[in-house]
């Protein structure tokens, strides 16, 4: 189990570096007026986690060790974007026919995260005035 943490940490470091690299390059191409880099990163991370989870899951085409799944799904995708985990969880709820919960996951995640970022912004602005 201790080695799993190493693989998650390595994947997280690589995912974070990839996020920075891609975000910078997209911003250089499109400018900073709209967060195209973040959207692209979130969509790509969601694609990767959705593909990998299904491809390597219990009913998937190949079986990989738990450490490999942790490296990609928790480490790499988690470092690249946490939106991928949200997307996979929402898809799983919808695929299970739990549409109300899938919708609630979407609404709560968006509303609460926007509220949290607004609160963080407000607190930081308040601290700069002190």
Domain residue ranges of the chain, discontinuous segments joined by +: 2-96, 99-130
pLDDT string in tens for the chain (130-residue length): 689 999 999 999 999 999 999 999 999 999 988 889 989 999 999 999 999 998 998 888 888 999 999 999 999 999 999 788 889 999 999 999 999 999 999 999 999 989 999 998 888 878 876 6
116 exposed, middle or buried (CB, 10 Å; 0-12, 13-18, 19+)? exposed
* Phi and psi, residue 95, nearest 5°: -65, -30
Nearest to 83 by CA among 116, 60, 102, 106: 106
Residue 69: predicted pLDDT? 96
Residue 33: predicted pLDDT? 85
């Amino acid at each position: 189990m201790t080695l799993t943490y190493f693989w998650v940490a390595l994947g997280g470091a690589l995912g974070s570096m990839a996020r920075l690299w891609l975000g910078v390059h997209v911003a250089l191409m499109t400018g900073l007026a709209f967060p195209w880099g973040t959207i692209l990163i979130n969509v790509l991370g969601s694609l990767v986690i959705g593909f990998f989870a299904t491809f390597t899951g219990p009913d998937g085409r190949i079986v990989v060790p738990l450490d490999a799944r942790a490296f990609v799904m928790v480490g790499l995708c988690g470092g690249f974007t946490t939106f991928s985990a949200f997307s996979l969880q929402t898809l799983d709820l919808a695929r299970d026919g739990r549409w109300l919960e899938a919708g609630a996951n979407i609404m709560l995640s968006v509303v609460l995260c926007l509220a949290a970022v607004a609160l963080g912004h407000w607190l930081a602005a308040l601290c700069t005035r002190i």
